[in-house]
Structures are given as C-alpha cells and as structure tokens.
A = this chain, B = another copy of it.
Amino acid sequence: MKMIDVGEKKKTERVAVARGKVSMSDATAGIVRRGESEKGDVLAAARLAGIMAAKRTPDLVPLCHPIALTGVDVLAEVRDGGVEIEATVRTRDRTGVEMEALAAVSAGCLTVYDMLKRYERGMRIEAVELLEKKGGRTGHWTRGKPARKR
C-alpha cells in the first residue's frame, strides 16, 4: 500500500461538492424541525462536525494526502424523508478534495444519527456521493442526471 506521489502535479484551484442523507421517519424529522432533540441543535452540530472532519480526512482515510484546505462549507437541512447534508470543499493544492467533501458528509450524517438515535434506531445513511468536482488534471466532472432520484 502506498500514498501515491503527487509531487509532479500542479497546485491548482480545486473544488469538490458531495452530498448524503440520513433517512428517517416523519416523526423523527419533526423533532429536528421543531428543535426538540434532547442533545441540542442537530443541524448546527452536523455542520460543525462536517467541517471538522474535512480537516481530519488524512487521519481517517489511510492513503489520503494531507492538504491545505482553503474553504469548507457544510449545509444541513430537513427534507422529505430525512436530513440532507451537502459539503463544498476548496483547496489550491496538488490533489483533489473529493475525499474531504465525502468525509465531511459522512461525519455530518453520523452526527445526525447520534443526536436522534434515541428516537429512531433504524435510521439509515444513504447515497453519500460526489456531485461535482473541478480543477486538476481530470478537469470538471458532474454526476449525470439520472444518477439519483430527487
């Protein structure tokens, strides 16, 4: 196993956007909407957990390069069927930030689960996926339209 050498790659502006969802019952989603979770503000905690996880990605993903992130934004909102998390990560470095965006979404989803598990243990983290990436050798990529039902 090895962390591939990226020394020859150029430092360019790179962006990645990822998304995921914690599916839950309407009753549980209502608890979030009304701010009634015993542990506190679910959406604020999920956003902060996502941002912090983005910074710790190289600790979580063994072969991932340490990168100087220039920006991280994590959104969390209650949607039909659950809480959706979306993370946008930016850098000007030698590798892309897909892993950082996906790690942010994963940590946000885990945090949502943690704060609501006493109400519904059967929640499920679904469809954690990259939506878009820009920059680097492989250029612009977006997830094709039919890839996900919304």
Contacts and interface: CB of A to CB of B under 8 A. Distances in A.
Interface in A99-150: 99, 102-103, 106-107, 109-111, 113-115, 117, 121-130, 133, 141, 143-144, 147
A126 B106 CA distance: 11
A1 B65 contact: no
Contacts of A114: 61, 63-64, 99
A78 interface: no
A93 to B, nearest CB: 7
A56 interface: yes
Interface of A: 1-7, 13, 20, 38-41, 44-45, 47-49, 51-56, 58-74, 90-94, 98-99, 102-103, 106-107, 109-111, 113-115, 117, 121-130, 133, 141, 143-144, 147
